[in-house]
Amino acid sequence: MSAASPTTASDEELQRFSESERYYLETSAFNHLFDTFTLQEIELTRAYMRRKGVIFVTSPTVLWEIMLVSDRERADEMLLAAQALFDPVLLGTPTELTVRYMRSAYPQNVINYDVVTSLSWASSWPAMTRELRRTFDYDVDQLRAKTAPIRQVSRNLKTVIESEGHERDMVGLTAKFVSMIFGAIHEDIELSKLDEVTAKMVILYGFLLLMTGADLDEEPAREFWREKGFYGEDAHAEVTRMFTDYPDIFRQGPLVTMAVMAALQYKSGKTNRGALHDGMHLIYAPHVHAILSNDAAFLDLAGTFPWMRAKVRHISEINLRMLEVPLYEYPDALHTRDGLEG
């Protein structure tokens, strides 16, 4: 496979993204499709759904999980399937969406900001979805190192949420920060009516994404704090002000949206990496028609919170068994056939 040259979504693709019903597949739903359908069926599914005014959208969060799959052959095959299924327009990272919300949508809580990623490497994605022979190179070891903080914290989530933190490693420092902030603004948190676990998850996501850069790209957070005048060694001390300067983040917005899901997982006994990643997927709920999942935890969320029932659906609710129709029924799919031949 050849490397893709950087490009951007076309005006036509951006218009389709704007006008279509958007369905976001979190990782379990994508895995289900990958294990159930052939590559050709997946590509035809995309073409068929486009004709119905429906597109499947994805995010760097899903691609991140694909790229970290330990079986490298499976990872490559999954990335190819993602190219065949998903729309060329890639949603922003959790950090990008959180920063954009805090910069322009707080406290009105309206989506008045761009939801498309600005990641440099993501500029290759549109071309990859048009021609499946294209791909991009990434350093797995570098990616693992980059995402190490969130994985370390995820493996020790119980310590972070329930202890005051004493050790001077990543887990201890994170636990200490969460405990310190929770204690300092406890009265404000009570006014938001959040329970302790959910409130601590809000603080944790704020710490990981906006202070430690535990995402695919920390530059959006750095740029945001530079705008606030926070530089140099005092930056981390100063940015703790986000929890007092932006008190409504405990009531609305991306951080609490992620925290609600992660807290539900935590309370049910899921205290591994999956809890935090499940929360990160939920950040896309305001930007799509529905989130499709094959994970019972997401359905538990829909059952627990009425406001999520229309947003979270099981992958089985989308009928994908229409693929017996001959290819010539889908002429708009023909231009992508180069990715499957030879």
Same domain, 222 and 157: yes
Identity at 284, one-letter amino acid code: Y
Express each pLDDT in 231-258 by its tens digit: 666 556 666 778 888 889 999 999 999 9
Same domain, 92 and 34: yes
Of 4 and 219, the structure prediction assigns the larger pLDDT to 219
Same domain, 15 and 49: yes
Task: Tell me whether residue 294 is in a domain.
Answer: no
Same domain, 60 and 149: no
DSSP state string for 259-275: HHHHHHHHHTT--SHHH
pLDDT greater than 70 at residue 320: no
Q: Is 120 helix (H, G, I), strand (E, B) or coil?
A: coil
Per-residue pLDDT at 298: 84
In this structure, which long-range contacts are made by residues 183-188, counting pairs with CB atoms below 8 Å and at least 24 apart in sequence?
Answer: 184/243, 185/243, 185/244, 185/247, 188/244, 188/247, 188/250
pLDDT greater than 80 at residue 341: no
67-76, 126-135, 184-193: the lowest-pLDDT one: 184-193
pLDDT greater than 50 at residue 49: yes
Task: Tell me whether residue 194 is in a domain.
Answer: yes
As a whole number, mean pLDDT of residues 126-152 equals 88
Same domain, 104 and 182: no
Same domain, 68 and 117: yes
Per-residue pLDDT at 75: 95
E strand or H helix that includes residue 313: strand 312-314
248 φ/ψ angles, rounded to the nearest 5 degrees: -70, -5
Of 129 and 168, the structure prediction assigns the larger pLDDT to 129
Percent of the chain with pLDDT over 90: 49
Per-residue pLDDT at 324: 46
CA dihedral 175, 181, 185, 189 (to 10 degrees): -50
Total domains, the chain: 2
Express each pLDDT in 175-202 by its tens digit: 999 999 999 888 888 888 899 999 999 9
pTM score of the predicted model: 0.88
Q: Which domain holds residue 159?
A: 145-280
The chain-wide mean pLDDT, for the chain, equals 85
